[in-house]
């Protein structure tokens, strides 16, 4: 024991400048027994591009951080950070994260990244955002960003879930945009939400891949089939869904892009667990 320590002075704590910050939970909303959203404080120094993801989590019993990649559901201009999460009963992180309450602390990584950003796409006329489940999260960010509507004449968001209640988040958010002071006027006539279910009866049913293949998606929306000359796409959901929709994009003649080489569609590979 050092002389300083024996005199009752605590040894200096080493702070990792690249380690996660501790942010405060501001609000939590549960939609179903599988889905919830929450909002955190945002550090003044935290910068990200709309559509990116970041590592968030909680400390483990040994004090080390348990982090998973989460798309940021709030737009880049928001003073708070919003996240949309699944609840996995035996998930190392989500089994605990689903129990957070306002005032609790959540760890936030310092380095957001991702390919579901507007700059990873070449200019086009129509932007599709294909999502399943919590894959809607990055699009919740993008539909609230004015830049999305400045770049495209039409923005089509598809969201597919098993049950109707799992569509509450996307439907409520899109509905609210018509009265949004920032993008309200911009979404009129430009933004369309196409929701489907795969299990519970609903006005539109079926996997998004089926609806693309049989043409029903385009028929219902009153738009032509996918065309690399005009259409751009972002894809986020389960790995199986991403690969299936990617195959359909390639079949339609669209090329996959990235931050380094923008093209006609991009996919996201980050998942929460």
CATH 3.10.20.30 assigned to 118-269: no
Question: Quick one: pLDDT at residue 62?
Answer: 87
CB atoms within 10 A of CB 168: 14
Domain with CATH 3.40.50.80 in the chain: 118-269
Looking up tokens 């910068």, which residue turns up?
Answer: 47
Which of the residues in the chain have pLDDT under 70? 1-16, 269-273
Sheet of 154-161, strand order: 191-197, 154-161, 126-132, 231-236, 265-267
Question: Quick one: pLDDT at residue 10?
Answer: 45
**Contact criterion met (CB below 8 Å) for 221 and 193:** no
**Count of alpha carbons within 13 angstroms of residue 170, beta-carbon side:** 31
**Cβ neighbourhood burial of 192 (10 Å; 0-12, 13-18, 19+):** middle
Question: Quick one: pLDDT at residue 268?
Answer: 86
pTM (predicted TM-score): 0.91
Domain with CATH 2.40.30.10 in the chain: 21-108
Question: Quick one: pLDDT at residue 3?
Answer: 40
Question: Quick one: pLDDT at residue 9?
Answer: 47
Beta bridge partners of 128: 156, 233
CATH value of 21-108 in 3.40.50.1370, 2.40.30.10, 3.30.1600.10, 3.30.70.2470: 2.40.30.10
Please give the structure tokens belonging to residue 11: 């040894």
């Amino acid at each position: 024991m050092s002389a300083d320590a024996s005199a009752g002075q605590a040894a200096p704590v080493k702070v990792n400048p690249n380690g996660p910050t501790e942010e405060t939970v501001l609000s939590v909303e549960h939609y179903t027994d599988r889905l919830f959203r929450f909002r955190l404080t945002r550090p003044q120094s935290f910068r990200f591009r709309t559509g990116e993801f970041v590592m968030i989590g909680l400390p483990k019993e040994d004090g080390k951080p348990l982090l998973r990649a989460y798309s940021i559901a709030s737009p880049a201009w928001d003073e708070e950070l919003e996240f949309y999460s699944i609840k996995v009963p035996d998930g190392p992180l989500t089994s605990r994260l689903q129990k957070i309450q306002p005032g609790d602390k959540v760890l936030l990584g310092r380095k957001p990244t991702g390919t579901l950003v507007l700059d990873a796409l070449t200019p086009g006329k129509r932007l599709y955002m294909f999502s399943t489940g919590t894959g809607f999260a990055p699009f919740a960010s993008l539909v609230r960003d004015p830049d999305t509507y400045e770049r495209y004449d039409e923005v089509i968001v598809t969201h597919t879930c098993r049950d109707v209640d799992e569509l509450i988040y996307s439907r409520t958010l899109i509905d609210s945009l018509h009265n949004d002071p920032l993008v309200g006027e911009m979404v009129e006539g430009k933004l369309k939400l196409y929701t489907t279910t795969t299990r519970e009866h609903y006005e539109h049913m079926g996997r998004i891949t089926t609806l693309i293949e049989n043409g029903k998606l385009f028929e219902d929306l009153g738009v032509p089939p996918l065309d690399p000359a005009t259409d751009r796409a972002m894809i986020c959901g389960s790995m199986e869904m991403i690969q299936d929709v990617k195959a359909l994009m390639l079949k339609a003649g669209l090329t996959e892009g990235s931050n380094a080489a923008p093209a006609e569609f991009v996919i996201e590979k980050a998942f929460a667990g």
